[in-house]
Structure 1
Amino acid sequence: MKQVEIASPEQGLNGIKVTDVAPPPEPQAGEIMVQVMASSLNYHDYGVASGVMKSSPGRILMSDGAGVVKAVGEGVTAFAPGDNVVSVFFPDWQTGGPTVGDFSRTPGDGIDGYAREYVTLPASYFTRAPQGWSHIESATITTAGMTAWRALVVEGQLKAGDTVLLLGTGGVSVYALQIAKAMGATVAITSSSDEKLEKARAMGADFTVNYKTDEQWGKTVAQWSGGGVDHIVEVGGPATLGQSIKAARVGGSIVLIGVLTGIGGEIPTAMLMRKQIKLTGVIVGSHKEQQDFVRALENMAFSPVIDKSFALDELADAFRYEESGQHFGKIAVDYSK
């Protein structure tokens, strides 16, 4: 079978290698065999593939995997052959509050991921996929979808009529736009591209702002919302957090889910305190939260936005496309190509 690994981490994307290996073993007790049909790219995957994040030579890439169950081991009752399933980001975090603070057990990083045609793994590494969703659509749930869901619903307790600010038009932000609108929220979104902002408006965004031409976008959003928004999904980190604090209402919520502008920097702590803002850091979510999310998706009338799809053996090119920043929404990997 075909798999894609980072053979030489020091070479970055040039070190990605496609290999042919033997199929995985038949599932033992508690395990399932899955034919992986799709994956999707995330900034975390890019960090591993590009060498920005340290990985072991030979690590099989990709944290997202969706496919169909081919066989089940003894004692497995959650799935049966023919079921469509999707992977979880933290296979050891099943329920309750956060129990992990690193990526040592995250597929595609600390352990082998889903850039391979078949896997045999514990059944607890998966949830069922939403009914009616394609494998490519389901593959967007593991990281981007779950992060948006946890930021808005689990942590933010989003409700109809709330106001939301989203930063950028990458996979998490576009997913959050769809979730927020499906739940009756009013949404503002930022981008450096007027073309992407137009796409966001076509999807239902109520207010858009170009952060390149309006450097005080936080103040602009606060004025638009009549004093500040209820929820902010913060993907930038140190270079954007100050403006996000300006955009939030007194008592608002900021969920930090990314550090695209760096891992350290100044935070206007006095303004954060004065506005009594709740600032929460999150990394994806638990198995139970993904099960809840899948049930919610089956009652929401939207499908994830797929910008472009690549074949499995084109994975390096897919990462180069992600690197270019041209995409709007998710970049997929279609194993049937």
Structure 2
Amino acid sequence: MSETMKRWEIPAYGVDKLALNTVARPTPKAGEILVEVEAVSLNYRDLVVAADGMGSDLNFPFTPASDMTGRVVALGEGVTRFSVGDKVISTYIANWVDGAPLSWADSPTQGGPIPGMLAEYVATPAEWCVLAPKSMTPEEASTLPVAALTAWMALIEEGNLHAGQTVVVQGTGGVSLFAIQIAAANGAHVIVTTTSDSKIARAKELGATHGINRNTHPDWQNEVRRLTDGRGAEHILEMAGGDNLGRSLQAVAPGGRISVIGLLESDSVTLPIMPMLGSRVSIVAIAVGPRRVLEDLIRAVDVRGLKPVIDASYSFSEVKEAFAHLKRGAFGKIVVKVREAYMN
């Protein structure tokens, strides 16, 4: 095994500053595992972190991206959680194993402020990884730590979704497309809001019941009411922020739930108080989830055959192109193949 490796780094804020550098291959410390990275999936958050830290101070040079899958090639002292040869995926929130969320100070996130995964090898605490699903390729498994887990937390772990309910899914990014599949698999009716009829058609292939083109129906909440005979949806995944949350409030059923997940339009929200009180709605922030829930999700993945929608895969030398694709928008996930020889 070579004593050096390749790693993508930014020397200062700005994804345009990404450079592929040769650095020393890490050695796992006590409690750590050395993972030969096979695939890394990108999240919109990775763009924001590279741009300004997303509320955290980064230590430069900094390696972006939180989500990876790989093969354990060495164990640090005291590691019993994994064996050499195990396939693993990273968790997103360090130290959050189960139960109530920890404070920000006690649970930093991978890919910022903790250095990320766009490297040929990473040394990471064994407690921050889980076994990869047996039914997925490395590319597919790399999409689970943030996108799939966020959808699962919103609908299953905290949302208690059940058959016959209606779910509104906004957009066609990674979280949204996982949410469509999870909701449909649990017998829910799914309404997707997006910007084109072609995306609606593809969403219906994944299990969506109805689609609303926001260009044709900018007041999409009225269409949700019409499609639900005036009742509204029991679950809404709020992906935009800003004024859109007010529309979600108008579309939610009495006693329903709005899971605030994204900030595609704004990092703040605008909300009238009286309609919220009148509808007795629960508005809940979803910030991914703990390790135990990721393990539950992986068991469900292997049983139900859940598969991510991967819009495009890029080679390790094409990380800049992968980020450019992410920035202009994707139908599903963007994945970087770090070790193509292991893609089987």
Q: Give the TM-score band, short-chain normalised.
A: over 0.9
The Cα shift of 1:189 comes to 0.4
Task: Give CA deviations for 1:26-57 in whole Å, capped at 9, x if unaligned.
Answer: x3432211111111111110112234736333
**1:36 match:** 37
Asked if 2 retains the 8 angstrom alpha-carbon contact of 1:308 and 1:330, the reply is: yes
Note if contact 2:35-2:123 (Cα within 8 Å) is conserved in structure 1. yes
Percent identity at matched positions?
39
Question: Residues 190 and 211 of structure 1 are in contact (CA less than 8 Å); yes or no, is this contact kept in structure 2?
Answer: yes
Rounded to whole Å, the distance in 1 between the matches of 2:197 and 2:104 is 37
Extract structure 1 runs of 4+ deviating beyond 6 A.
none
Q: CA deviation at 1:147?
A: 0.7
Is residue 4–residue 313 contact of structure 1 (8 Å, CA) maintained in 2?
no
Distance 1:234 1:200, change over 3 A: same
SS in 1 for 2:37: strand
User: So what's the TM-score if we normalise by structure 2?
Assistant: 0.93
Corresponding residue for residue 281 of structure 1: 285
Aligned residue type for 2:221: G
- Count of residues in Structure 1 that have an aligned counterpart in Structure 2: 333
Q: Which amino acid aligns with 1:43?
A: Y
Q: What is the rounded CA distance, in whole Å, between the counterparts of 1:125 and 1:16 in structure 2? A: 26
Paired AA for residue 83 in structure 1: D
Q: CA deviation at 1:266?
A: 2.2
Match of 2:270 in 1: 266
Structure 2 counterparts to residues 134-149 of structure 1, below 5 A: 134-149=137-152
**Matching residue's letter, 2:96:** W
1:210 counterpart = 2:213: yes
1:67-106 matches, cutoff 5 A: 67-101=70-104, 105-106=108-109
Shift of 1:247: 1.2
Name which of 300, 323, 326 aligns with 2:304.
300
Work out whether residues 95 and 106 of structure 2, in 8 Å CA contact, stay in contact via their aligned partners in 1: no
1:117 corresponds to: 120
CA–CA separation in structure 2 for the residues paired with 1:37 and 1:58? 22
Amino acid at match of 1:313: S
Contact persistence 2:326–2:334 (CA under 8 A)? yes
Measured after TM superposition, the shift of residue 259 of structure 1 is 1.4
CA distance in 2, matches of 1:132, 1:151: 23
Equivalent pair of 1:38/1:136 in contact (CA under 8 Å): yes
Counterpart contact for 1:161–1:185, Cα < 8 Å: yes
Which TM-score applies when normalising by structure 1?
Answer: 0.94
From 20, 23, 39, give the equivalent of 1:21: 23
Deviations 1:190-215 (A, max 9, x none): 10122111110122210100112102
**SS of residue in 2 equivalent to 1:262:** coil
Q: CA deviation at 1:103?
A: 10
- 1:104 Cα deviation after fit: 7.4
Equivalent in 222, 235, 239 of residue 239 of structure 2 = 235
The letter of the residue matching 2:16 is N
Match of 2:204 in 1: 201
Q: Which residue of 2 aligns with 1:291?
A: 295
> Aligned to 2:156, which of 153, 158, 168?
153
Deviations 1:99-152 (A, max 9, x none): 134797212211111111111221011011111211111110111111111111
Contact 2:71 2:87 in 1 (8 A): yes
Contact 2:96 2:107 in 1 (8 A): no
Determine helix, strand or coil for the equivalent of 1:65. Answer: strand
CA–CA separation in structure 2 for the residues paired with 1:121 and 1:174: 29
Deviation at 1:15, TM superposition (A): 0.7
- In structure 2, give the amino acid aligned to 1:209: I
CA RMSD of aligned residues (A): 1.6
Matched residue SS, 1:91: coil
Aligned partner of 2:173 in structure 1 is: 170
Is the deviation greater in 14-23 or in 27-36? 27-36
